[in-house]
């Protein structure tokens, strides 16, 4: 994972000259630098694991760091920087339900559309039409579509350990059932 680097060395010079005393909470900025497992997508600026070939947030293909260096050196490899890459007009394969990075295959009539990122950019319009809550809070898995013909298979991410999701249904119109937190035991204590 990310290597630890002395945070003090990374402070802005002015801050260093004026001494530290910047870390109110004990931890101090837990900031990681070079050789991190994460990199920044040049398209959406979200952090992406270097092992991922596409950004899970905006679906832009990602360029490996070495390739980016070679390109910038002017050697003209075919791999382009992600921000300059043409839109990938192909569908992605189904992945397992446990995948943390998943790109849903486009419906057949949108076969030319770019792959839809699982995370995606946040919606601009905050108001969301009230609708039945999903049966499960798990990420939508890419159902195996007979029409999906992957050309560039994506690696299957390592699954997270199963620590239990404690998922319950959130019922429309009724009292929401807690998804997280300790299960209700006694009625809440009355406030004085």
Partner 1 sequence: MSTSLRHVVWELTLACDLACLHCGSRAGKAREDELGTDEALDVVRQLAALGAREVSLIGGEAYLRADFTTVVRAIADAGMVCSMVTGGRGITAALARRMKDAGIASVSVSIDGIGATHDVQRGVAGSFDAAVAAMTQLREEGVAVSANSQLNRLSFPELDAMLDLFLERGCHAWQVAMTVPMGRAAERTDWLFQPYDLHRVFPKLAELAERGRHGGLTLYPGNNVGYFGPHEDALRGALTKTGEGGHYQGCNAGHSTLGLEADGAVKGCPSLPTAGYVGGNVRERSLSEIWHEAAELAFARSDAPSELWGECARCYYASICKGGCTWTAHVFFGRRGNNPYCHHRALELRRRGLRERLVRESLGSGRPFDHGLWRSVVEPDDGLDEWTPEASPPRRRLKLVTTAE
Near partner 1 in 60-99, by CB under 8 A: none
Left if phi > 0, otherwise alpha if psi is -120 to 50, otherwise beta: which for 19? left
User: Are β-strands 47-49 and 103-104 bridged in parallel, bridged antiparallel, or unpaired?
Assistant: unpaired
Any contact of residue 156 with partner 1 (CB under 8 A)? no
Return the number of the residue (37 or 147) whose C-beta is nearest partner 1: 37
- Quick one: which of 72, 78, 123, 135 contacts partner 1 (CB under 8 A)? 123
- Examine residue 124 and tell whether it contacts partner 1 (CB under 8 A): no
Give just the sign of the alpha carbon dihedral 27, 29, 34, 37.
positive
Six-digit token string for 120: 């995606």
- Told to check if 46 binds partner 1 by CB under 8 A, we report yes
**Binder of partner 1 out of 43, 44, 103, 114 (CB under 8 A):** 44
d(CA 85, CA 46): 17
Rounded least distance, CB 141 to partner 1, Å:
12
SS3 per-residue string spanning 163-187: CCCCCCCCCCCCCCCCCCCCCCCCC
Q: Does 51 bind partner 1 (CB under 8 A)?
A: no
CB-nearer residue toward partner 1: 76 or 161: 161
47 contacts partner 1 (rule: CB under 8 A): yes
Contact assessment for residue 185 and residue 178, using Cβ atoms and an 8 Å cutoff: no
Q: Which is nearer to partner 1, 45 or 89 (CB)?
A: 45
């Amino acid at each position: 994972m990310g290597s630890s680097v002395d945070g003090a060395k990374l402070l802005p010079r002015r801050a260093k000259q004026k001494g530290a005393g910047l870390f109110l909470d004990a931890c101090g900025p837990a900031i990681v630098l070079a050789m991190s497992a994460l990199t920044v997508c040049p398209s959406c600026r979200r952090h992406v694991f270097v092992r991922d070939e596409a950004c899970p947030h905006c679906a832009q293909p990602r360029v490996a760091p070495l390739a980016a260096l070679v390109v910038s050196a002017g050697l003209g490899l075919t791999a382009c920087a992600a921000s300059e890459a043409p839109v990938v007009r192909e569908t992605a394969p189904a992945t397992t339900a446990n995948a943390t990075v998943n790109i849903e295959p486009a419906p057949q009539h949108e076969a030319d559309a770019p792959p839809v990122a699982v995370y995606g950019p946040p919606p601009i319009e905050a108001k969301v039409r009230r609708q039945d809550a999903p049966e499960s809070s798990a990420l939508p898995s890419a159902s195996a579509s007979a029409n999906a013909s992957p050309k560039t298979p994506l690696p299957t991410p390592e699954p997270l350990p199963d620590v239990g999701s404690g998922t319950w249904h959130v019922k429309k119109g009724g009292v929401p059932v807690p998804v997280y937190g300790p299960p209700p035991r006694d009625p809440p204590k009355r406030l004085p």
